[in-house]
Amino acid sequence: MDLIDIIGIVAGIFTSSSIVPQIIKTLKKKKAREVSVFMFIVMMTGNALWVYYGFDKSDIAIISTNFLALGLNITMVVLKYRFRS
């Protein structure tokens, strides 16, 4: 693994984990009325397509970071419905 691959993975981790503060806030407050489900559906669609693209290109950085983002976005949608009121 060369430096550019490491930069790609680190960048993907930072980008993918940007939803973590929202997840933490939702878990603490147990409220998610303000959260837009449509935004997360769009994000999940994009992440799933990136994962598919990553497999086609055999690029572990694209696959792993977008798979992480997909999981975090699914978590947020579940929390949205769990704490909708």
Task: Give the whole-angstrom CA distance, residue 10 versus residue 83.
Answer: 32
| pTM score over 0.75 | yes
pLDDT digits (tens, 9 = 90+) for 4-56: 989 989 999 999 999 999 999 999 999 998 899 999 999 999 999 999 999 99
Domains of the chain: residue spans and CATH: 3-82 (1.20.1280.290)
22 CB-near residues (< 8 Å, 6+ apart): 35, 76
